[in-house]
């Protein structure tokens, strides 16, 4: 899943993973878990993430490589937030070269919509679950909902600048591939999910 912060990658990746019975793998979630646990990786990443910048390629690639090597990812996976740079995409190509086709879905959302979404986004303070609008507590553990530390107004704008500068080139990297699809993310969650399902099916023939 490609797309800027606030495009709904996490929500859509989770739905897609459930539909295909494969794990959703988010390097952002892994890094945030490390921050909450106070690990060495978490401490190193926290300042970078809180400032709205991207964690270095070597750290993200190492995290992703370890996660993709686990048994539950052997028969497929949905990637959320990885790759975010061309260097990360090149590393991913080397790992999956002999496996099934890599389906790349870009969720396209206008910038004004992204700023509005990010300003109102909340996550669970206990487990890190991304909350859907209109609920008062985490649907997973019942924990309190809080603003993400990287969703403040100035940080949001910096994250979008970083995206357009560092991550948008991924669209150029992938868009000529026959497995690349772009969907309109400025729709209801269900409508975006339906478009993503159709996009994946058009590449895989309906297979997971």
Encode pLDDT of 58-91 as tens digits.
888 888 888 888 899 988 999 998 898 899 999 9
For range 162-183, the mean pLDDT: 89
pLDDT the model gives residue 40: 79
Tokens of 116: 């509005």
Q: In total, how many domains does the chain have?
A: 1
Lowest mean pLDDT among 107-121, 134-148, 173-187, 188-202: 134-148
Is 1 a member of any domain? no
Mean pLDDT of the residues in the chain: 84
CATH number at residue 132: 3.40.50.300
List 117, 121, 122, 181, catalytic entry:
121
Residue 4 confidence (pLDDT) above 50: yes
- In tens, the pLDDT along 8-57 reads 998 999 999 999 999 999 887 888 777 888 887 778 778 777 777 778 88
List 24, 67, 122, 148, catalytic entry:
148
List 9, 15, 67, 117, catalytic entry:
9
Is 81 a member of any domain? yes
Q: Catalytic: 121?
A: yes
Is 88 a member of any domain? yes
- In tens, the pLDDT along 127-138 reads 876 776 667 788
pLDDT band for 208, please (50, 70, 90 cuts).
very low
d(CA 208, CA 203): 10
The continuous run of DSSP H or E covering 5 comes out as none
Q: Catalytic: 84?
A: yes
Is 134 a member of any domain? yes
Is 38 a member of any domain? yes
d(CA 128, CA 33): 8
In eight-state DSSP terms, residue 72 is G
pLDDT the model gives residue 123: 78
Is 186 a member of any domain? yes
Query: 3-state SS of the chain: helix, strand, coil percent to 5?
Result: 50, 10, 35
Is 29 a member of any domain? yes
Can you tell me whether residue 122 is helix, strand or coil? coil
Is 103 a member of any domain? yes
Q: Catalytic: 24?
A: no
Residue 191 confidence (pLDDT) above 70: yes
- In tens, the pLDDT along 86-144 reads 999 999 998 887 667 899 999 999 988 888 887 776 778 888 767 766 677 888 898 88
List 24, 32, 67, 84, catalytic entry:
84
Query: pLDDT: is 153 or 14 the higher one?
Result: 14
pLDDT the model gives residue 195: 97
- Domain of residue 141, residue span: 9-200
């Amino acid at each position: 899943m490609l797309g800027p912060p606030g495009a709904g990658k996490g929500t859509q990746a989770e739905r897609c993973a459930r539909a295909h019975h494969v794990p959703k793998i988010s390097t952002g979630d892994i890094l945030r878990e490390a921050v909450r646990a106070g690990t060495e990786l978490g401490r190193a990443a926290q300042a970078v993430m809180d400032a709205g910048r991207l964690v270095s390629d070597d750290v993200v690639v190492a995290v992703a490589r370890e996660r993709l090597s686990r048994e539950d990812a052997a028969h497929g996976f949905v990637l959320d937030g990885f790759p975010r740079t061309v260097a990360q995409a090149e590393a991913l190509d080397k790992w999956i070269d002999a496996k099934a086709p890599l389906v790349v879905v870009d969720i396209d959302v206008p910038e004004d919509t992204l700023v509005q979404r990010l300003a109102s986004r909340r996550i669970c303070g206990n487990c890190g679950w991304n909350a859907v609008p209109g609920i008062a507590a985490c649907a997973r553990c019942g924990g309190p909902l809080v603003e993400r530390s990287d969703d403040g107004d100035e940080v949001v704008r910096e994250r979008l600048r970083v995206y357009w500068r560092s991550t948008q080139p991924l669209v150029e990297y992938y868009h000529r591939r026959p497995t690349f699809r772009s969907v309109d993310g400025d729709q209801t969650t269900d409508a975006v999910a339906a478009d993503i399902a159709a996009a994946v099916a058009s590449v895989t023939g309906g297979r997971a």
